Amino acid sequence: MTDNDDAAAFISFAGGRPPFGLLPPDDLRAAADTAARLCFPARGRIYHAGDAMTGLYAILSGSVEILAPGAHQSTVLGPGDFFGGRSLLRTGHAASDATAVDAVEVFVVAAQTAQALFAAHPEFAGFFDRARGPHGELARQSDPLLSARIAGLMTAAPITIGADATVRAAARLLRDHDISCLPVAEDGRLIGILTSGDLADRVVAEGRDAETLVGAVMTSDPLTVTPGALGFDALVAMTERGISHLPVVEDDRLVGILTATNLVRRQAVSAVFLVA
């Protein structure tokens, strides 16, 4: 695979999810241009605690165990997860051992590029930095949602609509099913999202006709998350973007929707987090 292929694959993989989905297109492309695809065998060591960090890692396949020196409990990460960010933010040296549990394929964004993005985009750095320190650790310990996988939080098989449907039909679906958003799908593939707020802002407020097509007023290529991502990741993305709905996508297929209502129903997130 050529460097251009790697860059395109990285954008496809990381561009629609936090934290890289939080970046402007030019900066996402800059990160992609330095992203290298690497493979590690089962039980292969990715880095040792104390090693100089060479980059920020994103897991494409397989699983990775993170174990701090002297710790008795490890963290196992899977596809769609990122690691190495906190070490790059802190000292530039690994705080833990990272080991492939099984055969692993990762993208690695060059350390210098990642650190430049941290400096230029506080929201990007915040994705990794937000859980640091006593307040972040307390939040993670007291809020089970923050370490829960999105697969267990989302609404599976959500009601969808096509881009060629009318906004009248969309409004009726929202009313009849008592929901606040509709993923816009084409052959099972997500192409946009339409919320009740979009109908108010882009249809009613603009005086558009009720026969306006959904495709004309939807948000195209919305930010997405994967089922394996953490509730914490989704909360960060919602807070940074000021949004309340995140489509959940796996293998380019829509599999669910995560909303602020899902989070509230778990009674695990404080109002401060939800309105921040």
The residue extents of the domains of the chain are 3-129, 150-275
Phi-psi map region of 221: left, alpha, beta (phi>0 left; psi -120 to 50 alpha): left
Measured CA to CA in angstroms, residue 248 lies from 57, 104, 191, 266 at distances of: 21, 23, 12, 18
**Inter-CA distances, 141 with 32, 46, 95, 131, 145, Å:** 34, 27, 20, 11, 10
The two beta strands, 82-83 and 55-61, are antiparallel
With beta carbons less than 8 A apart as the criterion, state whether 98 and 66 touch. yes
Question: Residue-wise pLDDT tens for the chain (276 aa)?
Answer: 456 788 999 998 888 777 888 788 999 999 999 999 999 999 999 999 999 999 999 999 999 998 888 777 778 888 888 999 989 988 999 989 999 999 999 999 999 999 999 999 887 887 776 544 333 443 444 455 556 788 888 888 899 999 999 999 999 999 999 899 999 999 889 999 999 989 999 999 999 999 999 999 999 988 888 888 887 778 777 776 778 899 999 888 899 999 887 776 654 444 334 433
The CATH classification number of 150-275 equals 3.10.580.10
Q: What is the pTM of this model?
A: 0.53
CATH code of the domain made up of 3-129:
2.60.120.10
Judge contact between 77 and 63, C-beta under 8 A: yes
Is 150-275 in the same CATH topology as 3-129? Answer: no
3 state SS for 45-95? EEECCCCECCEEEEEEECCEEEECCCCCCCEEECCCCEECHHHHHHCCECC
CA distance 72 to 89: 24
Task: Reduce the DSSP state of residue 97 to 3 states and report it.
Answer: strand
What count of Cα atoms within 13 Å lies in the side-chain half-sphere of residue 260?
Answer: 18
Handedness of CA 190, 192, 197, 200 (dihedral sign): negative
